[in-house]
């Protein structure tokens, strides 16, 4: 960061909770983007994004976690990703096609849930 953004002024300090939510979601999107880039367009059936690790690493309060997860899933669905969850709903399984999603090794998990 070269300089502080205008939103960090003392007069806007009452808005820091919303600023933190916005920043946390930006970091979450960035981590998922990096996760997708690491797959290099392959091995979707073997990979999943771990929301819990992200939330713990970034000290996301428990009361925000479901809200963030639901928002991200909605955004990815709007981008036509095929999505399932596993591991209590905190493992995000992504695939560009329904066929690849159906081949996920995580499908054998008892709580594998396709999000439609």
CA dihedral 25, 67, 57, 59 (to 10 degrees): 100
Q: What is the dihedral sign for C-alpha 18, 24, 25, 26?
A: positive
Neighbours of 18 (CB within 10 A): 11
The rounded distance, in Å, linking the Cα atoms of 99 and 96 is 9
pLDDT range class, residue 10, cuts 50, 70, 90: confident
pLDDT range class, residue 85, cuts 50, 70, 90: very high
Is 80 exceeded by the pLDDT of residue 40? no
| Model confidence pLDDT, tens digit, residues 57-70 | 999 999 999 999 99
| Model confidence pLDDT, tens digit, residues 86-101 | 999 999 999 999 999 9
pTM of the prediction?
A: 0.86
The rounded distance, in Å, linking the Cα atoms of 83 and 97 is 9
| Model confidence pLDDT, tens digit, residues 12-23 | 667 788 888 999
Residues with Cβ within 8 Å of 113's Cβ and at least 6 positions away in sequence, in order, are: 84, 85, 86, 89
């Amino acid at each position: 960061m070269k300089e502080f953004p205008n939103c960090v002024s003392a007069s806007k300090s009452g808005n820091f909770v919303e600023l933190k939510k916005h920043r946390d979601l930006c970091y979450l999107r960035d981590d998922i983007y990096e996760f997708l880039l690491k797959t290099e367009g392959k091995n979707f059936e073997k990979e999943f994004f771990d929301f819990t690790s992200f939330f713990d690493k970034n000290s996301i309060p428990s009361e925000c976690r479901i809200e963030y997860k639901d928002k991200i899933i909605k955004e990815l669905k709007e981008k036509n990703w095929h999505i399932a969850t596993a591991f209590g709903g905190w493992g995000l399984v992504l695939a560009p096609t329904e066929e690849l999603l159906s081949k996920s090794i995580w499908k054998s998990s008892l709580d594998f849930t396709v999000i439609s």
